[in-house]
Structure 1
Amino acid sequence: MAWRSSGASNQALIENLAANGLITQPRVKQAMLAVDRAHYAPRNPYQDSPQPLGHRATISAPHMHAAALESLLPYLHPGAKVLDIGSGSGYLTHVLAELVKPGGRVVGVEHIQALVEMGRVNVGKSAEGRGLLEMGVVGFVKGDGRVGVEEEEGGKGWDAIHVGAAAVKGGEGRLVGLLKAPGRLFIPVEEEDYAQHIYVIDKVADGSVTRKKDMGVQYVPLTDAPTE
């Protein structure tokens, strides 16, 4: 049903995603309505398909952003700390911030400085986004998404981690170590046959880890910055 969800405006896109059952949670719908994709996608912002950003990066299709938000939602409460690896355009970083304010923080991680700046500039295109940047609810850093970034406030770990690029099988273990207990990781993983699937990985209160293999996907890989 995703291909039927495109719209002529941000509101139409989100309403169509909800009508097609791709958004089911009111909090997710409200957060996505609050962030205009036109500030983040260089063309066709309201089409339900991935869009190129340059630097070998893409902004994911809206239905994939909705899937990630709905999966992580139990951990996206006011005050939560969230890591958004492969933040790209900054779109999902901003939507995540809508779900953890007040008191929360979302940090977008990119391996190319130009993408770090792109995210920061895009969030600043709206008054609401500028406020989130000024209050420190949203931030962007350059780093290697394969190893992640330590949660800086108290070192207790991240409540939720979203990864917007595919990890090699087994590589997700480094990111699990950055989660709080309880906490959740949403990550595409490339397996031995080169197929990719979303894995939803939970660290429960006693520190043990559970893994759920979810939908098949196709993401760009987590990798080194391009040399060209």
Structure 2
Amino acid sequence: MAWRSSGTSNAELVENLWRNKLITQPLVKSAFLKVDRAHYAPSPSSAYEDSPQPIGHEATISAPHMHANAVETLLPFLLPKVEPGKQAAMGVASVKGQTGRPRRVLDIGSGSGYLTHVLAELVGDTGVVVGLEHIPALKRLGEGNMAKSAEGRHLLESGRVRFRVGDGRKGWAEPSPAGAQPGVGGPAATNGDNGETTEDNKDEAGGWDAIHVGAAAVELHEELVRQLRSPGRMFIPVDAGNGWEQYIWTVDKDDSGNIRKERLYGVRYVPLTDAPKS
């Protein structure tokens, strides 16, 4: 149904994705409605098409239905702490051990910054989303696109969204912010409430509840798996090794640190590689 989901406005695009069941969670629909894709797409005339579009530097902004699926797959690991039972009432499955800490999300291959913004709408006021790019010009593009809206500027100024340059295959170590941004993306907590880092969890204090990878990796990079918090989930396209097949994988780490990997469906992404030579 992706080919029927394009619209002439952001609201129409999102409504079509909802009608075609490419968005199924009300919280996800609400987040996409808050982020105008025209601020992130390369051309206003095609901003609301449900298709990937080039943004330069051999990169693309993915089709909205792919972004929607990524967000829905990661959703239980994006939401801030809620009262017991409230997640179920919102139609979202709870995750054992996830309460009591600000959400930290890594968006590898953030490109235009569009999905980075959508993710930030879901993690709440205490969460942080880091967009990671290996090309400085794309890092600047994401920041510039986000600054086009008042909400985007607030996310940048508050530290709830940050763009960085680095090799996404190695993940990213983003420290908790200074006292000027209390609580934003803070450390994990084992006691469920106070946000303090203890000896048992200090190694995952800078890790990630959710990792989204927006380019096809040649393997499930173990460094990214290590950086997942317990519990945590990664959404990543991986090349099958034959030069033409790629598949979405999820990697789950449970509250005891056990790893489960699952292959989902075939896709076509640009590769997760070194930055192109200038």
* Selected match of 1:67 from 59, 66, 69: 69
User: What secondary structure is seen at the aligned counterpart in 2 of 1:121?
Assistant: helix
Q: Is the contact made by 1:184 and 1:203 (CA closer than 8 Å) also made in structure 2?
A: yes
- Counting only pairs closer than 5 Å after superposition, residues 51-66 of structure 1 correspond to structure 2 as 51-66=53-68
Number of residue pairs matched by the alignment: 227
User: What secondary structure is seen at the aligned counterpart in 2 of 1:73?
Assistant: helix
Structure-2-length-normalised TM-score: 0.80
Q: Distance in 2 between matches of 1:86 and 1:150?
A: 15
1:214 aligns with 2:264: yes
Higher-Rg member (1/2)? 2
- Counting only pairs closer than 5 Å after superposition, residues 15-94 of structure 1 correspond to structure 2 as 15-43=15-43, 44-78=46-80, 79-94=102-117
1:196 aligns with 2:219: no
* Structure 1, 153-162 or 21-30: larger mean CA deviation: 153-162
Which deviations, in whole Å up to 9, do the C-alpha atoms of 1:182-221 show, x marking residues without a partner? 0000000001223100001101111110011111000001
Q: Which amino acid aligns with 2:57?
A: H
Q: Distance in 1 between matches of 2:161 and 2:275?
A: 23
* Paired position in structure 2 for 1:127: 150
Shift of 1:42: 1.0
- Counting only pairs closer than 5 Å after superposition, residues 173-192 of structure 1 correspond to structure 2 as 173-192=222-241
User: What secondary structure is seen at the aligned counterpart in 2 of 1:139?
Assistant: strand
* Paired position in structure 1 for 2:85: none
* Paired position in structure 2 for 1:117: 140
1:150 aligns with 2:173: yes
User: What secondary structure is seen at the aligned counterpart in 2 of 1:167?
Assistant: coil
Q: Is the contact made by 1:151 and 1:178 (CA closer than 8 Å) also made in structure 2?
A: no
Q: Which amino acid aligns with 2:165?
A: K
Q: Distance in 2 between matches of 1:73 and 1:6?
A: 23
Which deviations, in whole Å up to 9, do the C-alpha atoms of 1:81-101 show, x marking residues without a partner? 000000000000000000012
Q: Which amino acid aligns with 1:227?
A: K
* Paired position in structure 1 for 2:212: 162
Gaps of 5+ in 2: 81-101, 177-186, 188-203
1:98 aligns with 2:121: yes
* Paired position in structure 2 for 1:5: 5
Structure-1-length-normalised TM-score: 0.97
| Identical pairs, percent | 62
Q: Distance in 2 between matches of 1:11 and 1:174?
A: 38
Q: Is the contact made by 1:151 and 1:158 (CA closer than 8 Å) also made in structure 2?
A: no
Q: Which amino acid aligns with 1:26?
A: P
Q: Distance in 1 between matches of 2:216 and 2:4?
A: 26
Q: Distance in 2 between matches of 1:45 and 1:215?
A: 26
Shift of 1:164: 0.1
Q: Which runs of 4+ in 1 moved over 4 A?
A: none
User: What secondary structure is seen at the aligned counterpart in 1 of 2:54?
Assistant: strand
Shift of 1:77: 1.4
Q: Which amino acid aligns with 1:144?
A: D
* Structure 1, 151-160 or 188-197: larger mean CA deviation: 151-160
